[in-house]
Amino acid sequence: MTKNGRLSYESLRKYANSFNYNELKKCVCGMKIAVIYNEIRVCIESTMNEILQFGQRMQRIGIHKQEIHLEGMTMGKIRQRGYTFIEILVVVAVLAVILAAFYPGIMNTLETRGIENSARGIQTTMQRAKFQAVKTKLNHRVGFLNDGGVWFYFIEREDSLGNWSTMPGFIRKEIPERLIVSLNLPDVTGIPSKGVEFSPLGFITNFDTNLNSVSLQSDNLRRKGQPDLRVVSVFAGGSVHYIKTGS
């Protein structure tokens, strides 16, 4: 090396002669192989990722197309599906059999509810008349009237001695014609029928131990051997009882 710090020609020659070109070649080759390997590995990984992403997209597209196809087939079947005349006849026949089997039970239930509702209506009306008599301090009564073969009942109040008028807000109620009505009540004045009178204390003023009930009977229930009588009974203290029994 010279004084100014530069390499001399002889130094360079010695360095060149002593340099191992084979080792350099191997090193360079190794580096190239490593770089090429890394590039190939990166390329393969990138390619595999693209293939996987492409497969996933195709799978989603395939499922969507299958759903559209199935939906189209279903809608097509719905549009094309109909009912033949034989199928309609079979359904009608099955319904007729079911109706025939359950019809007696349905009619029996309706008849039972009908007579019970009518009897409960009479009981409720008597209790209401008693309540109004106590509330207004005026005599009230429940009267029964046969008008053209149909029985009706209503509430009246005594505005003055012997003067009766229909209680405001009450509309007379009808007892169904199919029911047999038996009145076992005392006569009342002012109307052509029988009834029950309640005093301002809630007692029955015209009470009679032998005339204290209203009976409703269903002939349909009687023929079937079921309880066909509903009896509404009153007592001197003003209580009203409901009884279900058979004839």
Q: Which of 97, 91, 112 is closest to 179 using CA atoms?
A: 112
If you average pLDDT over every residue of the chain, what do you get? 79
Separation between Cα atoms, residue 3 and residue 113, nearest integer Å: 133
H or E element that contains 164: strand 163-166
pLDDT of 97 over the 90 cut: no
Which residues share a beta bridge with 179?
A: 218
DSSP, residue by residue, 196-229: EEE-TTS-BTT-BTTB-EEEEEEHHHHHTTS--E
Q: Are 112 and 221 in contact (CB under 8 A)?
A: yes
Q: Please report which confidence band the pLDDT of residue 81 belongs to, taking 50, 70 and 90 as the band edges.
A: low
The residue type of 85 is F
Q: How far apart are CA 125 and CA 141, in angstroms?
A: 10
Which two structure tokens, joined as six digits, stand for 196?
């029950």
Greater confidence (191 vs 159) lies with 159
Kindly report the number of other CB atoms within 10 A of residue 240's CB atom.
20
Q: What is the dihedral of CA 51, 56, 59, 60, to 10 degrees?
A: -140
pLDDT tens digits, residue range 197-225? Answer: 999 999 999 999 999 999 999 999 999 89
Asked if residues 245 and 116 have their Cβ atoms less than 8 Å apart, the reply is no
- 203 Cβ partners below 8 Å, 6+ apart? 236, 237, 238
pLDDT-derived band of residue 28, with 50, 70 and 90 as boundaries? Answer: very low
pLDDT at 209: 93
CATH fit for domain 104-245, picks 3.40.50.300, 3.55.40.10, 3.30.70.100, 1.10.3720.10: 3.55.40.10
pLDDT value of position 92: 87
pTM: 0.62
Q: Where are the domains of the chain?
A: 1-42, 104-245
